[in-house]
A and B are shown apart, each in its own frame.
Chain A
């Protein structure tokens, strides 16, 4: 190719990159609602931050939320909510992660266990109600990301757990329904749960006598297994049950089982990056058409041509063809 042709092509390419409008390209985006468990057991400090200090499950989850929000491609959206007892509370419906990042960041940083309007923790019912909430028009596009440690207080009676198959009936297409991701927060070894007073100052840890260790709600499914069962006066037996409910570890098996029931994925939160990866899986991706500038492509071709015209390894003398 002669250098004259090169220069002319470079000029044409530059002209194209000047005049080319934005071209609509399909991009992957995501739309999530982050729902954070703010019950007491989330205060357990069983994570380590980068400086080696211990941080609570709540703080770890918040960090992971922010890290993952930053890693999502622009055009993705994030909504935020908290959950305690049986009910979720939506704080805001999904907003764009790049343009409104400052707001997402401020709100996530302000999440606190003291927002909890009741102290109980019934995760299976909470998840059920959250999924119901997700079927509102407002959130119909979004996938749920449910952060929890799986620790319920008081322990629940599985007989009265909600029936998740009913949720499927609410969907138009039952098969294509995948609700999202459950993120298990916490470590597998038992840790003490901090106890706070009304003003939020820590006054120690929960002791064995502070909490019920077994469910006392409703009727047992199998009375023969209950020691000292008396149908009317002691349906749960008369023995005092002492267990380890005042200590907390992540209940992964339970969360996985919930995830299976609700047709969700499960991911344990070990390092913040693992969440980022779990969120950006094809199941959650939405294809959106976004106008994209591809002028740099043409401009860089023009640059290559110009550099070729001037590259210094050229023969000093033109090669004479021998006739």
Chain B
């Protein structure tokens, strides 16, 4: 049994249970000779029972007051789900619409559209653990892998606030991968990169990312929020001269991701609807059996003890009312 008390210091009152053994519930009555009262077994046992009831009544109230409860328990269950880390682009351009303009009444910014859709996705996946990391020029740790939905939503909410500087994908991914360092390997592991741009990766970054993706076995989803008329993942270079990572970072980042040994899916998204469709596909793909911990919240036992105390007290009332009046 995992019993615990929320106010354990109240247990110091427990010696009060002994009170009934030191004093009697009944008035003393004088009797001419002791021979008139025989201490037969029934009387002795009745007396003991009455003491016991009184002690139980006092003790149960004290236990109840001390906040006795069953500890929160975690039960390991198997379901389907994933450990998902969102790596969110917080660069300034995310605040523009898919058309590359300042958002107005009819059109949402890319960040807002992404926030809304990710947030729905989180709500619909009950058993998944979600972590959130952000990046612009530098990565930042936002919230750890957790099943607390309110916290995950709060972290995704941050996308609504103004964006910062540039897009440094490598560092963001590194931060996202680091979330899996201390995680048990169960179910699918996914990094969802949501960005509206790409950047060149230097050799050092490429080597590290390749190593980490392999070590942690994390599959990668890239939701590329393409701006109208901007370059996309599948854009072909117009001339050989343009075919280099400086001019076409998206194309080269895609090539690099393809060369990783882990499953990789890229979605070029240019409307909120296509983002929804991409998320839907992720939802279907990432449902490997997952061992997850379900928490059974702690259960207060105080009412049970109050009930015991009530029963005992009622018995005492009955006994006391039967007392011979002087």
Contact = CB atoms under 8 A, between A and B. Distances in A.
B158 to A, nearest CB: 5
B150 A18 contact: no
A123 to B, nearest CB: 17
Interface string A289-310: 0000001100110110011011
Interface string B36-64: 00000000000000000010011001101
A219 B25 CA distance: 93
A310 B25 contact: yes
A91 B28 contact: no
Interface stretch (A59-67, A108-116, A156-164, A277-285): A108-116
A184 B143 CA distance: 26
A311 interface: yes
Contact of B154 (A14, A79, A112): A79
B306 A138 contact: no
A99 interface: yes
A299 B160 contact: no
Contacts of B61: 14, 299-300, 302-303, 306
Nearest to A109: B141
Count chain A CB atoms within 10 A of each CB in B136, B323, B326 and give the residue with the most. Answer: B136
Given A89-B90, A89-B158, A103-B148, 6 more contacts: A4-B317, A10-B57, A89-B164, A93-B154, A303-B65, A306-B313
Interface string B150-163: 11001101101110
B306 A8 contact: no
Given A87-B164, A107-B142, A312-B19, A93 B157 contact: yes
Interface string B115-157: 0000000000000000010101111111110101011001101
Nearest to B165: A117
B307 interface: yes
Nearest to B64: A299
A100 interface: yes
B296 interface: no
A274 B282 CA distance: 48
B140 A306 contact: no
B151 A95 contact: yes
A55 interface: no
A136 interface: yes
A90 B320 contact: no
Given A100-B148, A106-B143, A310-B20, A136 B160 contact: yes
A103 B151 contact: yes
A116 B158 contact: no
Interface size bracket, B side: 35 or more
B310 A310 contact: no
A309 B62 CA distance: 16
A115 B139 contact: yes
Contacts of A299: 61, 64-65, 302, 306, 309
B104 to A, nearest CB: 17
B313 A311 contact: no
B148 A136 contact: no
B277 interface: no
Closest 5 CB pairs of A and B: A110-B141, A117-B137, A310-B19, A92-B154, A115-B140
Contact of B150 (A87, A100, A102, A310): A100
A117 B155 CA distance: 19
A95 B152 CA distance: 10
A317 B28 contact: yes
24 contacts: A4-B320, A4-B323, A7-B320, A10-B57, A14-B61, A14-B313, A91-B143, A91-B155, A95-B151, A103-B144, A115-B139, A133-B161, A136-B160, A302-B313, A303-B16, A307-B58, A309-B316, A310-B19, A310-B23, A310-B58, A312-B19, A312-B22, A318-B28, A318-B326
A82 B313 contact: no
Contact of B313 (A7, A91, A92, A106): A7
A133 B302 contact: no
Contacts of A306: 54, 57-58, 61, 313
Interface in B277-323: 302-303, 306-307, 309-310, 313-314, 316-317, 320-321, 323
A309 B25 contact: yes
B105 interface: no
Nearest to B317: A7
Contacts of B162: 87, 129, 133
Given A91-B158, A93-B157, A296-B65, A106 B144 contact: yes
A118 interface: yes
Interface in A1-35: 3-4, 7-8, 10-11, 14-15, 17-18
B138 A92 contact: no
B238 interface: no
B27 interface: yes
Contacts of A89: 90, 134, 136, 140, 158, 161, 164
A116 B137 CA distance: 8
A316 interface: yes
B158 A7 contact: no
Contacts of B139: 115
B155 A15 contact: no
Count chain A CB atoms within 10 A of each CB in B19, B25, B150 and give the residue with the most. Answer: B150
A48 B303 CA distance: 48
Nearest to B90: A89
Contact of B307 (A8, A18, A116, A318): A18
Nearest to A318: B27
B28 A117 contact: no
Given A302-B61, A306-B57, A18 B310 contact: yes
